[in-house]
Structure 1
């Protein structure tokens, strides 16, 4: 059924709820008042309802393949309260209503154990051009969402349609986890905003009943709310509360300048709710407006209008439990034929007349574009399309360091080609050390819970295997500043083992490693600048054959977004990460050295309040028996733009090594709240976050013999041009390094 819904004056009504009686199938009208509603063959009763209007019911008898058109006129039914001066008593009535809704929500949420739904999401991008704003692209997505108490959620993208200037790989504008005002917090990117129906909401928001309308004969109270504390990131807006059920049937949220995430501002959310199974009020439509602003020169702000239609709820179904993994969002696109069927049978919203015209205009521009522009789009599609990329990291093709000089090579990822085998291969040549390196890894992934693998390699290794050096960072700093902060040695051999994925959060690994070590030296003095400066010599490593048994344990309950071309962590939630590694080598394994090396890393991220977002990391390492230099631990220094927060900013390189290692890194993100409280010009009500941190470390060997604690502390400003962080660090333990350091790094 296609149609048009309007009021008595034939003014289009946007967001009218459309429900098929005795089912969980629903839809809504678009901003033109138009709708498309998929029905069953036979007899159908379709209800149209809208707050402030009398609902209408259509009776339709259809045969398979029928298409009908209907115009539906809804009659108003509301009582508008006259404008009056609000007194303390009237405010009390508003608070009393909100208190009842909060008290009621726990019993309501306790009944909702799990649900799934179908979603259609239409996203329109607007870009500034000269003095006007134009359509920059249109995307449409069909997805399936799953929820299970207390907080398990996953959305699976099934099919996509987009204008030709947006590749399928970059069409990632799904509905995501639906903001629910009944929950304690509303999640937007990296921000957790106190909900206007939080258990303690009356401490944070002011409320006022502005008018009363009716929905199917029941009174609906429109309650406006605004923040009590102007310095906290809180919403203003309206809650439409159904009096008989004490649940919100309509929600409007506006973040204005107060709610700003890492990449978004001007956040607005509108929701409409529909009753299912006579007791569950769930969103049927969500509209999300925001401005994506990277704050980078040459990247103008992009306005985003996103509308999601949610239908076909299955509630408290225990017959087919869903297996969640670590991803909040992932992509499992269906085949072309199945995709066509999905678009025919799933509930969707028609594009407005203007959107259809702009869709055709953008496609026409791309089709008639010059060859270079079309090649650029096809290249991004081939490189970043989900699951189809055959290349490994860009560093496998080129990198630079003081040992290899210019390295040229190639890398292939054959994960999807020879299933269930997962083959990764890379090889290349260092022009300064005149050596060929290679890595071949073969995994058998038929059983995801136990994945055997074997690796053969001849490579340049980093001296500290527990620190994740960034080769792109080393390349940039070597070429630009003649500063290569890592230390190296050559390693050749093989490794065989098995990865055990016990659960989504827990994995174990067992392996046998045979490798031959030899020292590496400075082989080039090249750099774009600083011609007179010399590279630091790598420290001496012991040569020989090392055979070891290895065990690793990893636990991480953090969730991720799979965008196809990149995987991003969900930083809005609390999480715990535990890593433990144990390596044992002895003459019984025909090894030239006997040692036991253990390493433990514990990290906890906890959001206590809007201004208390604490991350604590504790690292411990111990090396026993033969203490080969390449296996010693070090205090990680301030390593360029890509260095993590768990580094010592006042240490410039890996000059401090030891066999016993302890370190603690404590950091709190105050968000923007302290800047607001202090009224700091330019920083108040901005995207910039204030960060405070403390780092402490102990090494058993020189220069900190006797286990002297090395300490530093500092302040940082995060979200500079979105992805940069500026730190000022003061050395608390006097040493030959700088007393204080200003540093800049990426904050991804």
Structure 2
């Protein structure tokens, strides 16, 4: 019996294997794909041609998130929710009636979303006629993307099969689309095609940079200031569709996000639209809807009370809504920042991140991109001018090449570099990175302060927060971008490291004072291995990095190893309060050269280095260290609600914190400082500080009262601006 079972089991296994490898339908070749795409185009075009107008209704929530540059001051998100009836007339004219609305906005700024600001898509949200690209309606110019499955789209798009799902009558093919010319409004992304019905059944796309439909207005309630701007970028859209008319799949759920910039204000919009009903080619549409006015507000108070009956705070976002929105939006910011920290070349990082979003770019001259990219100022080089060129897909697909050159007018040194990044897989998770360089460098974390901000503070008041040395050499690494917020990279590095000295004393303020000294280094050839792990979420940051060099096995002038880590966790105890935990630590072995020592303590421009307030910048150093800060802040609105009825208190924030720190420097490493200009101060035991701060809500101006183990019984009073 057992033998029969084994034989039957083998037979079943063989049968399943044969069935698995025998296709249920012919292999899906490029010819088959071209034929399928053409059939889908014919069906889609026929459905579109038979539609003259559509009545529809729906519900939308639009979230707006502000990040005020250049200081990245964040405001409470804005949200508008409304129910609407709409009427679309070919070729692309939309009229809408807003019948119920809920608005949540910060006290000082109102962004009007409904009045032509971010218009609702037409039911197709694409153009089917190439002559309508840039079509002007009664109010503004729309640059909708051209539909990849309209007739004639073959001349504008590339198509590539990604995978097949199902078999027989239920086969769906996922197709990647990309425009041949990025000057034409188009999309990048994927579509799901039903092979047997020749229909589109789903999509996940990103609008290219030539697509624009945003009109944004900002006004301040008190002084009446207003501004309008058009244009959108990083426009991504997901749709779920249902077969509602003939062979055409009209959207039922649509989620999109995009960015706009207004006078240095970065604004990210996230919108969810639910289309609840459609009537195609109505015989007698509502006369209210077909009026010439594009948007008509006819709020029904009875309907609003019914629709928003379960909303606890109609005039503001609930704590859960805020958390959900901030998590969604700031996780996106964190994903982009993660790439900038992971990749050595900032320009490569930006271009590679955009390739990961399925955007394609040609030659891009950095001179026009950002002032901070081609002008820098520091105490070693003085004024440095850079010029570079970035090329996407120079030889291989999904690759970026960057070449940059620069000159420091005070150190009179030329700098140059070439960087290359190549994705190795279709999902763009694994990549190779290589760099050749002759440059000035530093060990401080890029999160401490950006090059643009450091140049600004150096020029303004000698606030140069980096310690520099020259490097000449190369590195090569492989990285794994596991998720949007998690990445790992390991690299081999070979470079000469040389001293850098101060060559300028100019600043606008504090002209007679000297710049902070630039510490000396141990010069030599570094051959080593580096690794970094980054995890970035809106309420949790973690990074772990290490470096190893050995004179015997790697023929390096140095022999050491180190690990260092940073962790930041944010909590939200109540609607009006925040609790932040900061931890950092580092450990080394061998003879660690001074340029690799670990520093902590003190304040920088718009940031705290080590998040300690009671000591100077880089107060402590060492080859081992640990530091921690626990910070609790509460908005004045909470105190006002508890009975402190002072008008000004709503504009204030109260902060309490407790900080600890410890560092040590071994005797063998301390001897490096005997002939060099290197700070060697470590903590005496454990450093401890306790403080209270009072500031405005945005933390621009703040007064701190601090007591620590250095000043003992003396309470320090510190006035901080832009911390």
Please tell me whether the aligned partners of residues 602 and 610 of structure 2 are also in contact (alpha carbons under 8 angstroms). no
**CA displacement at 1:481 relative to structure 2:** 2.0
Q: Secondary structure at the match of 2:722?
A: strand
Indicate how the Cα distance of structure 1 residues 730 and 17 shifts in structure 2: closer, same or farther if over 3 A, else same. same
Match of 1:430 in 2: 408
**CA displacement at 1:713 relative to structure 2:** 2.5
Q: Secondary structure at the match of 2:217?
A: strand
Please tell me whether the aligned partners of residues 703 and 720 of structure 2 are also in contact (alpha carbons under 8 angstroms). yes
Match of 2:524 in 1: 544
Match of 1:487 in 2: 467
Please tell me whether the aligned partners of residues 426 and 438 of structure 1 are also in contact (alpha carbons under 8 angstroms). yes
Distance 1:327 1:634 in 2: 30
1:325-336 to structure 2, matched below 5 A, reads: 327=332
Indicate how the Cα distance of structure 1 residues 673 and 172 shifts in structure 2: closer, same or farther if over 3 A, else same. closer
Indicate how the Cα distance of structure 1 residues 417 and 694 shifts in structure 2: closer, same or farther if over 3 A, else same. farther
Match of 1:336 in 2: none
Q: Secondary structure at the match of 2:484?
A: coil
- Residue of structure 2 aligned with 1:619, choices 559, 566, 584: 584
Distance 1:238 1:32 in 2: 8
Q: Secondary structure at the match of 2:400?
A: strand
- Residue of structure 2 aligned with 1:407, choices 373, 381, 384: 384
Tell me whether 1:709 sits opposite 2:687 in the alignment.
yes
1:206-225 to structure 2, matched below 5 A, reads: none
Tell me whether 1:741 sits opposite 2:706 in the alignment.
no
Match of 1:659 in 2: 623
Distance 2:649 2:691 in 1: 24
Please tell me whether the aligned partners of residues 462 and 507 of structure 2 are also in contact (alpha carbons under 8 angstroms). yes
Q: Secondary structure at the match of 1:657?
A: coil
Distance 1:402 1:133 in 2: 40
- Residue of structure 2 aligned with 1:650, choices 610, 614, 631: 614
Indicate how the Cα distance of structure 1 residues 429 and 728 shifts in structure 2: closer, same or farther if over 3 A, else same. same
Tell me whether 1:577 sits opposite 2:554 in the alignment.
no
How many matched pairs? 452
**CA displacement at 1:143 relative to structure 2:** 6.7
Tell me whether 1:176 sits opposite 2:250 in the alignment.
no
**CA displacement at 1:3 relative to structure 2:** 7.5
Post-superposition CA distance 1:545-571 (Å, at most 9, x none):
11111122122244xxxxxxxxxxxxx
Distance 1:36 1:459 in 2: 49
Please tell me whether the aligned partners of residues 238 and 251 of structure 1 are also in contact (alpha carbons under 8 angstroms). no
Indicate how the Cα distance of structure 1 residues 414 and 727 shifts in structure 2: closer, same or farther if over 3 A, else same. farther
Tell me whether 1:240 sits opposite 2:306 in the alignment.
yes
Indicate how the Cα distance of structure 1 residues 415 and 727 shifts in structure 2: closer, same or farther if over 3 A, else same. farther
1:200-599 to structure 2, matched below 5 A, reads: 239-240=305-306, 254-255=314-315, 327=332, 390-391=365-366, 394-415=371-392, 419-447=397-425, 448-465=428-445, 468-558=448-538, 575-587=539-551, 588-599=553-564
Distance 2:466 2:715 in 1: 19
- Which residues of structure 1 form unaligned runs of 5+? 6-13, 21-26, 40-114, 148-152, 180-221, 225-236, 242-247, 265-323, 332-385, 559-574
Post-superposition CA distance 1:143-190 (Å, at most 9, x none):
73479xxxxx994459x9x9xxx99999967453689xxxxxxxxxxx
**CA displacement at 1:512 relative to structure 2:** 0.5
Tell me whether 1:629 sits opposite 2:695 in the alignment.
no
Post-superposition CA distance 1:84-122 (Å, at most 9, x none):
xxxxxxxxxxxxxxxxxxxxxxxxxxxxxxx99999998
Q: TM-score, normalised by structure 1?
A: 0.51
Match of 1:302 in 2: none
- Residue of structure 1 aligned with 2:658, choices 694, 714, 723: 694
Distance 1:140 1:482 in 2: 37
Distance 1:690 1:415 in 2: 48
Please tell me whether the aligned partners of residues 116 and 146 of structure 1 are also in contact (alpha carbons under 8 angstroms). yes
Distance 1:140 1:437 in 2: 35
Indicate how the Cα distance of structure 1 residues 28 and 15 shifts in structure 2: closer, same or farther if over 3 A, else same. farther
Match of 1:30 in 2: 97
Please tell me whether the aligned partners of residues 564 and 584 of structure 2 are also in contact (alpha carbons under 8 angstroms). yes
Please tell me whether the aligned partners of residues 616 and 665 of structure 1 are also in contact (alpha carbons under 8 angstroms). yes
Distance 2:567 2:334 in 1: 26
Distance 2:514 2:597 in 1: 25
Distance 1:407 1:173 in 2: 33
Q: Secondary structure at the match of 1:589?
A: coil
Q: TM-score, normalised by structure 2?
A: 0.52
Distance 1:414 1:503 in 2: 25
Q: Secondary structure at the match of 1:468?
A: coil
Distance 2:501 2:333 in 1: 46
Please tell me whether the aligned partners of residues 125 and 138 of structure 1 are also in contact (alpha carbons under 8 angstroms). no
Please tell me whether the aligned partners of residues 527 and 554 of structure 2 are also in contact (alpha carbons under 8 angstroms). yes
**CA displacement at 1:598 relative to structure 2:** 0.3
Q: Secondary structure at the match of 1:577?
A: strand
Match of 1:102 in 2: none
Match of 1:144 in 2: 237
- Residue of structure 2 aligned with 1:726, choices 696, 702, 707: 702
Post-superposition CA distance 1:473-516 (Å, at most 9, x none):
33233323234343221111111000111223321111111121
- Which residues of structure 2 form unaligned runs of 5+? 1-52, 58-81, 89-93, 101-119, 125-201, 241-252, 275-299, 323-328, 337-358, 666-679
Q: Secondary structure at the match of 1:480?
A: helix
Please tell me whether the aligned partners of residues 380 and 502 of structure 2 are also in contact (alpha carbons under 8 angstroms). yes
Tell me whether 1:125 sits opposite 2:217 in the alignment.
yes
Higher relative contact order (CA 8 A, sep 6+): 1
Indicate how the Cα distance of structure 1 residues 450 and 598 shifts in structure 2: closer, same or farther if over 3 A, else same. same
Q: Secondary structure at the match of 2:518?
A: coil
Distance 1:584 1:456 in 2: 20
CA-based RMSD: 5.1
Indicate how the Cα distance of structure 1 residues 463 and 678 shifts in structure 2: closer, same or farther if over 3 A, else same. farther
